[in-house]
Structure 1
């Protein structure tokens, strides 16, 4: 994610608040307590609603699950939110066990998930979002919500609450989801998962897939060319936990989302004037394209903290084919480093005609992740004899670069 280079520019701001809508979080953890948000308009533990917002003694946020001020209930109940909070904003360079993406940030804990299954209601999620908006309107510089949850059905009320957050200048970063009961990620362009799918209609929503250390899409991670914005590390992520271990590795798109939320916090600390749409556009346009993500998510790439802070598109890579499919009428090729309007598809070294460049597969660095050709049944039958493998290559005439061969067949 190029975080080390990003920290040479900024490590965040003690004035900027990220709301963690999740289970509770143990903000007394030694790596979190200096970055815990404290409501400046509330006197703790006096039994009064000092700021008149309808919540008594909401010092660090609110517990919507249990309907009280205690954002941390127990180690078993609030492990998830504590881990997420640490990835966003564990204190950096303090000699403790881990470092968050944003060293300097304030963490607001809003608990709406709980119980043995870590479940919660859409109604309480909406209440938590509205709490964030109200705090923003009261002068709290809360600019980011992290939502490492999903799986519910479409809710017009939830959509409207997230849209209202965007209108208030708040970026909503959410997990793409961990697939269904089979444990494998789903294409949520086809099988909707909310709130991640709201990224297709709300420009303040950034949905995040999980990748491993080799930039491969995690097997459990949802994906979607239109509905998942970007990818971030989500396998074996080391962060804060509320039990005697204090730190532990956990995997999930829930662990990927807070990496992006932390980067957004760095961006808004460095350039507060950015709108939610501008933030999302920069995240997409500066992501690092990878073959494993080609055409599977909006950006086809891994988030880059340094690129996002400097608003620098990723360098163009040499062409590489990662997937190809052939039907009776059509050839479709996915990969990285394809050039819009000039890349040539070659079949066993022979250029194929009628190449289509679909702008919806454009990548932020000026390349494309998908090429198609529909030369007709006769040409397809001739160039792709049934059951016989052929070698595909992509040639970029403007650079003289040719991809490695990729074998495919029509069956």
Structure 2
């Protein structure tokens, strides 16, 4: 993913850091296509025209993610508090199996309060497991007995070797580009008399009045700015490849000792801690803001749902989440009152899928809706599975599940995010997931993109519906969200991952984009008939 910037470069000199400018309207995912010109979810229209005077009931939403900055200015009053637990007394007051779980639980933390920050990818963990099973020269009898596992082992080994080689190639290139960045910043900054500058300011530099070095810096900066490759992106590239080499694909790395559990045993309520922010809360905080950022405080961003409490269930490190933690996270959220669970994560392997399947079935039995990001590999997930998935290992599928792809603020051919996974069977619907402005740790805000942002947009709509129409079941919420989506099946779009065009209807089961206004209309009608 990070190499895409590099592939576009024909120079070694990088751009200077330019001030972040929003690609579109800050709250576009809440806006209306006809009124505002962007294909948002018509959330504001729903509040203005359909929900005025109606009474809502608070809904608890479980956010299974990397952790959340619960002190963020725009999330104050929006974080779940376990009223049955006395804070910090070292006791399990409500007898739910978790000590001092005031705002949720951290399934990747140790009893001493430390946290797992980085993890291996699941492929690396499987590589270690299969290496121990097969050794260097496996016997034919072993290969016959574990044929499928051996084939997976060979596939994984190739993937890891290729990814490590790529990271080793690109990391020094990004580091050089980052180093050259400071040179470019200094050159342009001296000319403009400022450490930060906009595209317009750089364009305004008169070539006839500056030397060759400045002219070259100007040219480079403008080209890089056009590609969206700033200092932040370059550092993200460096961090990405370093994490791959040092942690994700490092078969010698074992962070689980921090947790102190047996990762091969399910053990619900036997491990973790109550520290829900963790060392890398950016992703979870951004997701939570999309769902629940305060709509009434004139700060930052407006979340989709106005009467919601976020239950933080920290499960996702840098690297791949473990099936054990996902299964326990779902169960924890269900047991403690969440009616909707957002899952903005995923991976290509799921060795203990049965544990996750059982948790999904448990959530279904308790009338809890699960909303999952489809993934960001521009892949057909009907063919290449993205876990977790609504399809059970034993057959059949979850009825309480919505899989979400990412749409863009642009219309026409560029309506679909080029990174989004898709699938006529596995992806149910699309929702805004490009240039989403939301909360970030430290009471900051920023734009991010991914199906990780599209899923909480849908979660927000589901929470909005559940809060105003509390009698709706999880299955009914799903039915309303899918049936009321704006159907654009025959729209020609650029298919994810390339320049090939096709019909939007080929990318999901509904061929639709989620729309809160239409969903509320349907909910009014459905509940009136109950």
TM-score by length of 1: 0.69
Contact kept, 8 Å, 1:150 with 1:196, in 2: the verdict is no
1:242 aligns with 2:441: yes
SS in 1 for 2:462: helix
Q: Distance in 2 between matches of 1:264 and 1:69?
A: 27
Shift of 1:197: 4.5
**Is 1:49–1:55's contact at 8 Å kept on the other side of the alignment?**
yes
How do 1:309-320 and structure 2 match up within 5 A?
309-311=520-522
Normalized per residue, which structure has more helix? 2
* Structure 1 residue aligned with 2:342: 146
1:35 to 78, 91, 94: 78
Look up the match of 1:93. 296
Q: Indicate yes or no: 2:406 matched with 1:210.
A: yes
Asked if the contact 2:80–2:309 (Cα under 8 Å) also holds between the matched residues in 1, the reply is yes
CA deviations 1:328-379 (Å, max 9, x no partner) are xxxxxxxxxxxxxxxxxxxxxxxxxxxxxxxxxxxxxxxxxxxxxxxxxxxx
Structure 1 residue 25, shift from structure 2 partner:
0.3
> Is the Cα contact below 8 Å between 1:102 and 1:262 reproduced in 2?
yes
1:32 and 1:147 mapped to 2: Cα distance? 19
Q: Report how far residue 153 of structure 1 moved.
A: 2.9
After superposition, the CA RMSD in angstroms is 1.9
| Larger Rg computed on CA atoms | 2
CA deviations over 1:78-108 (Å, ceiling 9, x no partner): 1100000000000102111111000221000
- How do residues 322-333 of structure 1 correspond to structure 2 at under 5 angstroms? none
Aligned mate of 1:188, from 381, 406, 410: 381
Aligned pair in 2 of structure 1 residues 10, 150: CA closer, same or farther (>3 Å)?
farther
**3-state SS of paired residue (1:34):** coil
- Partners of 1:23 and 1:118 within 8 A in 2: no
Kept in 1: contact 2:57–2:468 (CA 8 A): no
Q: Distance in 1 between matches of 2:474 and 2:57?
A: 20
Match of 1:407 in 2: none
Matched, 1:126 2:166: no
Q: How does 1:7-156 map to 2 (within 5 A)?
A: 7-8=47-48, 9-10=50-51, 13=56, 15-66=58-109, 67-74=272-279, 77-114=280-317, 117-136=318-337, 142-154=338-350, 155-156=353-354
Report the alpha carbon displacement of residue 222 of structure 1 after superposing the two structures with TM.
Answer: 0.4
CA distance in 2, matches of 1:167, 1:262: 22
Distance in 2 (CA, whole Å) between partners of 1:47 and 1:122 is: 28
CA 1:7–1:58 in structure 2 vs 1: closer, same or farther (change >3 Å)? same
Q: How many residues were matched structurally?
A: 298
* SS of alignment partner, residue 303 of structure 2: coil
Gaps of 5+ in 1: 137-141, 180-184, 314-411
Paired with 1:13 and 1:172, the residues of 2 have a C-alpha distance of: 21
Q: Tell me if 1:274 matches 2:481.
A: no
Q: Do 1:197 and 1:228's aligned partners in 2 also have CA atoms closer than 8 Å?
A: no
The farther-off stretch of 195-204 and 56-65 is 195-204
TM-score, normalised via structure 2 length: 0.54
Relative distance call for 1:267 and 1:159 in structure 2 (3 A) is same
Q: Which runs of 5+ in 2 are unaligned?
A: 1-40, 110-271, 494-503, 525-530
Verify the 8 A CA contact 1:177 1:196 in the aligned structure 2: no
> Greater shift after overlay, 118-127 or 255-264?
118-127
Alpha-carbon distance between aligned partners in 2 of 1:295 and 1:270, rounded to the nearest angstrom = 33
Shift of the 260–304 alpha-carbon distance from structure 1 to 2, 3 Å rule, reads same
Q: Which structure ranks higher in relative contact order (CA pairs < 8 Å, sequence separation ≥ 6)?
A: 2
Q: CA deviation at 1:62?
A: 0.4
Q: Which residue of 2 aligns with 1:258?
A: 456
1:91–1:104 CA contact under 8 A, matched in 2: no
Question: Does 2:418 align with 1:219?
Answer: yes
Q: Secondary structure at the match of 2:391?
A: helix
Higher strand proportion: 1
CA drift of 1:15 comes to 2.2
SS in 1 for 2:276: coil
Q: 1:10 to 1:195 in 2, by over 3 A?
A: farther
Instruction: Say whether residues 1:232 and 2:431 are aligned partners.
Output: yes
